[in-house]
Amino acid sequence: MAVHLRSALFYRDPKAALAWLEAAFGFELVLLLEDAEGNLVHSQMSFGDGLVMIGHQWSDLHQSPLSVDGRNTQTVHIEIDTDLDTHCERARAVGAEIIEDPATQFYGDRTYRCRDPEGHIWTVAQSVQKVSREEAEAATGLKITGWL
């Protein structure tokens, strides 16, 4: 059975979001549906083997954080295999608000966290070292069940 998990994000200005996501993260537009007036109805962007759907605010339950006082009910996590610090600077250069600077985490990933122009929160990670479950438990004092 093949399974693919996709996220969908909603924006007040989804066409601006498409351009920003390409400039900030290197996403690539792979599908764009527009109505007769040129309004975005649905879109999909790829990044490596991942896919994110970008759409407009189409109901009271599908809103941009910009429309709900900055609230987020999810964040999007991107795993890259290129230099994380360079990636962070690329995002910062096009207006990403860096809310956590790049840092190496106890589980072996180097990460940064940013907010896009409409308030969606993104975490970007690069694996920089292999850490065992035992090492992670020793570093944090947490009991960890399972480990990737």
**Strand 76-80 versus strand 121-127 pairing type:** parallel
% of the chain with per-residue pLDDT over 70: 99
Residues 85 and 51 placed together within one structural domain of the fold: no
Residue 137 covered by a domain? yes
Structure confidence at residue 9 (pLDDT) = 94
**What does the pLDDT look like over 117-145, one tens digit per residue?**
999 999 999 999 999 999 999 999 999 99
Structure confidence at residue 2 (pLDDT) = 67
Hey, which residues does 98 pair with through a beta bridge? Answer: 114
Q: Which helix (H) or strand (E) holds 31?
A: strand 28-34
Residue 25's domain comprises 1-57
Residues 25 and 93 placed together within one structural domain of the fold: no
At 61, is the pLDDT very low, low, confident or very high (cuts 50, 70, 90)? Answer: confident
Residue 85 C-alpha from the chain's centroid: 16
Does pLDDT of 71 surpass 90?
no
Structure confidence at residue 5 (pLDDT) = 80
Does pLDDT of 47 surpass 80?
yes
Residue 64 covered by a domain? no
